Amino acid sequence: MKQAPKGSVIRVGFQGEHGSYSEEAVLRYFGESAEPLPYKSITSVFVAVETGEASAGVVPVENSIEGSVGETYDSLLTTSLRVVGEINLRISHCLIGLPGAKISELKRVYSHPQALAQCRAYLASLGLEPVSYYDTAAAARLIKEMGDKSAAAIASARAAGIYSLEILASGIEDYGRNYTRFLVIGREPSTRSGRDKTSIIFTLPHRPGALYEALGVFARRSINLTKIESRPTRARPWQYNFYVDFEGHIDDEVVREAMSELAQKALFVKVLGSYPAWINKNQVA
């Protein structure tokens, strides 16, 4: 699903406004064949793909500094969509303001809560008030509309260009190895690539050793787990859904055997999809 036929356009939903990191992930994955469609929330992206308003969606699932994106995990549980791809995007934040603005005169900085958190120490060192907004690029647009030189935004260099703002400082994230992983969602499964990952959800009975036994299903077959995350089921206090990513394709014989055994141990199992693992030669390990 990675590329549309030459000359055609694929409509791809993302959360945020034009100039956001999510839109950058769309363009990085689909290239010029993409028509990015902005939505206010991650949930709205899932709805757009389910209804056919968008052919695919790109949603953030975890950040290497601030951790997982709960709204994405919760939407994966309830959706009928498939995970068909992933992108690891290097996030480099810029402090941007109106032309002529000076850092010494700033008082407030607007951005998405995750971006503010990723630049927490930098903002504290300048004594600036962080103000949460629903999207980094939307925060940049807000600064443009406000016309207040004492206010700035944390967003991408691309957003600064789109909204005719000035980059006051770049690379302001507290940790240099700052990456966000995005998932590509679609209505049809991805084809096997030979370097695949699979994502699943399962729920276990609340008894000693249940998780140990479930993970043993993969360990005994030398299936490498690349991610494990727990989220409350919301159906019962202190019961959790486990989100697991592992190397291999759901059609691999060893994976089918593991999933069959897991189904006997779990209360609930859902396969989210098998998809090509992202390869980025420029990413620092």
49-66: pLDDT as tens digits: 999 999 999 999 999 988
- Whole-angstrom distance between the N-terminal and C-terminal Cα of the chain? 27
**Residues 80, 182 within the same domain:** yes
pLDDT in tens, 140-187: 999 999 999 999 999 999 999 999 999 999 999 998 889 999 999 999
Q: What's the confidence (pLDDT) of residue 9? A: 86
> Residue 225, Cβ neighbours under 10 Å: how many?
12
Q: What is the mean pLDDT of residues 28-39?
A: 94
178: closest CA among 127, 234, 121, 132? 121
Q: What is the CATH number of the domain that holds 261?
A: 3.30.70.260
- Among the residue ranges 6-10, 31-35, 78-82, 163-167, the one predicted with the least confidence is 6-10
Which of the residues 14, 46, 182, 202 is marked catalytic? 182
Which of the residues 79, 180, 198, 203 is marked catalytic? 180
Cα–Cα dist 285/264, whole Å: 37
Stated as kind and residue range, the H or E segment containing 159 is helix 157-162
- Going by pLDDT thresholds of 50, 70 and 90, the confidence category of residue 6 is low
Compute the mean pLDDT over every residue in the chain, rounded to the nearest whole number. 93
Residue 43 lies in a domain: yes
pLDDT in tens, 84-115: 999 999 999 999 999 999 999 999 999 999 99
> Residue 267, Cβ neighbours under 10 Å: how many?
14
The residue segments making up the domain with residue 47 are 10-91+178-186
Q: What's the confidence (pLDDT) of residue 281? A: 46
| Number of structural domains in the chain | 3
Residue 162, amino acid? I
Residue 284 lies in a domain: no
Cα–Cα dist 23/27, whole Å: 6
The answer to whether residue 246 is catalytic is no
Residue 282 lies in a domain: no
Residue partners of 76: CB distance under 8 A and separation at least 6: 83, 183, 199, 201, 243, 272
**Residues 51, 110 within the same domain:** no
| Four-point Cα dihedral 199, 59, 124, 170, nearest 10 | 110
**Residues 51, 166 within the same domain:** no
- Going by pLDDT thresholds of 50, 70 and 90, the confidence category of residue 280 is low
Q: What's the confidence (pLDDT) of residue 17? A: 94
Q: What is the mean pLDDT of residues 259-282?
A: 90
Q: What's the confidence (pLDDT) of residue 189? A: 93
Residue 2 lies in a domain: no
**Residues 87, 104 within the same domain:** no
- Going by pLDDT thresholds of 50, 70 and 90, the confidence category of residue 5 is low
**Residues 53, 84 within the same domain:** yes
**Residues 45, 182 within the same domain:** yes
The answer to whether residue 182 is catalytic is yes
Has residue 238 got a pLDDT over 50? yes
Q: What is the CATH number of the domain that holds 21?
A: 3.40.190.10
Residue partners of 272: CB distance under 8 A and separation at least 6: 76, 82, 83, 198, 199, 200, 201
pLDDT in tens, 201-217: 999 998 999 999 999 99
